[in-house]
Amino acid sequence: MQLVWKKPTVGIKSWCNWEDESQIPFYKNINCGEENEIPFDIELKAKSLNLYEEWHDFFNESKNSSKQFMPKYIFKFRELLNKLKYVLNGPQQIIVIPNIHYLTSLQCICWGLTEYENKMYPYKKDQILIHDEFTLEEYSMFRRKVFVEFGRGLMYSRDFCKLENRDRVLLFNNLVNVFGKLAIAFFSLRVFGHEDPCNLTLILNTQAGGGTSFRMVGEVYSEPTIATISNLFKKSSDVFMDQIYLPMKKIPNFEMIEFSFLIGQYLWSTDCIDGLSAEAIILSKKVLTSLNNDIHNYYSNLNLTNYVLRLTEIIKLTTGVMKHTAVISDIITQARVFEMFEVGEFYFEKMKIDNPHLIYLMS
């Protein structure tokens, strides 16, 4: 069965509008200016793990630090963890399509990613600011939004929601940074097209830049430090362009259903994930079989008989992601050594099984 996915109309929203689907106790985020929900039971669980105390200690220690911006980001990282915990431990998101009573595993993932696109990228290309400079706070806010909305998108997957919370978190943690890299390339091409000669890529959902010339600005750092950080991230941008964006751009008419297959393959490939339950591993094998059958049926409905080469090029994109991940690891190491910024608060890399933040999400 082949479905035609119709994109609903989405109005332009403020960045700080995180959603209003729940009627639960919340705190006021003074940095954002909006009321962001933090479930009360999550606060209690965090206290039981002494995480709030750790954050409070760091906040106090940082007041006289040269990194004067850090307390604000620490608070927002705590907020991110709370939101992720609330989303990933929540109920399955319901898909309603008139006269359609069953969706395949691939179609559910595709639906969730379409919802993600509607929330994250509602703007047309003539509404996007083309400008290479951005601030660290803008970038941080964008990343947090990516994480939360991707988590919500996964909750449309019937298979994902069959899992216990611990397994959901482990799958999410393994995939989310890979997804972030692939999503920037994919949705940039969705906005600007495969024929765009400038290779415009989305820095934020409202701003794009050309190629690899992005530059961080702001009052937080001195000019030499800004130059150093910008040079570090230029290396990342170069690899992203060469290994992810341009190879994806060469795949003609790369559709959402194919992107969903790529994400689904990575989501359910569990060999490198520590701590998964036996039930999750068994389910993952079944879902991978279903995804392969689904994409075969999709191509068959299009009368594409020789699609193996196309699928090979799609799967090869994950190799580019691994190369980019290695560069990011080098950047993280340098950032930590020279104390340029607190990389842990940006969730740049997959958290290890014994990371207190991951333990909190799984609890």
User: Sorting pLDDT into bands at 50, 70 and 90, what band is 94?
Assistant: very high
pTM of the entire predicted model: 0.78
pLDDT above 90 for 82? yes
Overall average pLDDT of the 199-214 stretch: 83
pLDDT of residue 58: 35
Overall average pLDDT of the 321-334 stretch: 81
Kindly state whether residue 23 falls inside one of the protein's structural domains. no
pLDDT of residue 33: 38
Kindly state whether residue 14 falls inside one of the protein's structural domains. no
83: nearest Cα among 133, 134, 138, 155 = 155
323: its two tokens:
């190369």
Kindly state whether residue 335 falls inside one of the protein's structural domains. yes
pLDDT above 90 for 114? yes
**For the ranges 49-58, 200-209, 276-285, 314-323, which has the lowest average pLDDT?**
49-58
pLDDT above 90 for 149? yes
Kindly state whether residue 123 falls inside one of the protein's structural domains. yes
Q: What is the per-residue DSSP string for 54-113?
A: HHHHHHHHHTTSS-TTHHHHHHHHHHHHHHHHHHHTSPPPP--BTTB----HHHHHHHHH
pLDDT above 90 for 200? yes
Number of domains in the chain: 1
pLDDT of residue 218: 65
Please name the residue ranges forming H helices in the chain.
Answer: 40-48, 51-62, 70-88, 105-120, 136-154, 158-161, 165-192, 223-240, 246-249, 256-267, 278-301, 308-315, 317-337, 356-362
Distance CA 204, CA 131 (A): 10
Which residue's structure tokens are 């703007």?
Answer: 123
Kindly state whether residue 52 falls inside one of the protein's structural domains. no
Please name the residue ranges forming H helices in 19-50.
Answer: 40-48
Higher pLDDT among residues 255 and 27, named by residue = 255
pLDDT of residue 306: 84
The CATH code of the domain that includes 250 is 1.10.565.10
pLDDT above 70 for 168? yes
Kindly state whether residue 305 falls inside one of the protein's structural domains. yes
**For the ranges 14-18, 31-35, 174-178, which has the lowest average pLDDT?**
14-18
Contacts of 143 (CB under 8 A, 6+ apart): 180, 346, 347
pLDDT of residue 117: 98
pLDDT of residue 220: 59
Contacts of 235 (CB under 8 A, 6+ apart): 327, 330, 331
Burial (Cβ within 10 Å: 0-12, 13-18, ≥19) of residue 292: middle
156: domain range?
104-353
291: nearest Cα among 103, 104, 159 = 104
Overall average pLDDT of the 213-218 stretch: 67
pLDDT of residue 335: 66
Distance CA 92, CA 84 (A): 14
**For the ranges 39-43, 331-335, 348-352, which has the lowest average pLDDT?**
39-43
Average pLDDT of the chain, as a whole number:
78
pLDDT above 50 for 147? yes
pLDDT of residue 141: 85
Of all residues in the chain, what percent carry a pLDDT higher than 70? 71
Backbone angles phi, psi at 236, to 5 degrees: -60, -45
In the beta sheet, which residues pair with residue 16?
Answer: none
User: Sorting pLDDT into bands at 50, 70 and 90, what band is 113?
Assistant: very high
pLDDT tens readout for residues 36-80: 443 434 333 333 344 434 434 433 443 344 344 444 444 477 888
Kindly state whether residue 86 falls inside one of the protein's structural domains. no
pLDDT above 70 for 211? no
Backbone angles phi, psi at 100, to 5 degrees: -115, 120
Distance CA 113, CA 117 (A): 6
Kindly state whether residue 96 falls inside one of the protein's structural domains. no
**For the ranges 19-28, 177-186, 195-204, 213-222, which has the lowest average pLDDT?**
19-28
**For the ranges 162-166, 276-280, 321-325, which has the lowest average pLDDT?**
321-325
Contacts of 255 (CB under 8 A, 6+ apart): none
pLDDT above 80 for 223? no
95: nearest Cα among 83, 86, 104, 85 = 104
Higher pLDDT among residues 359 and 220, named by residue = 359
pLDDT of residue 140: 80
Distance CA 306, CA 134 (A): 43
Of all residues in the chain, what percent carry a pLDDT higher than 90? 53
Distance CA 339, CA 66 (A): 10
In the beta sheet, which residues pair with residue 216?
Answer: 134
Coil, strand or helix at 175:
helix
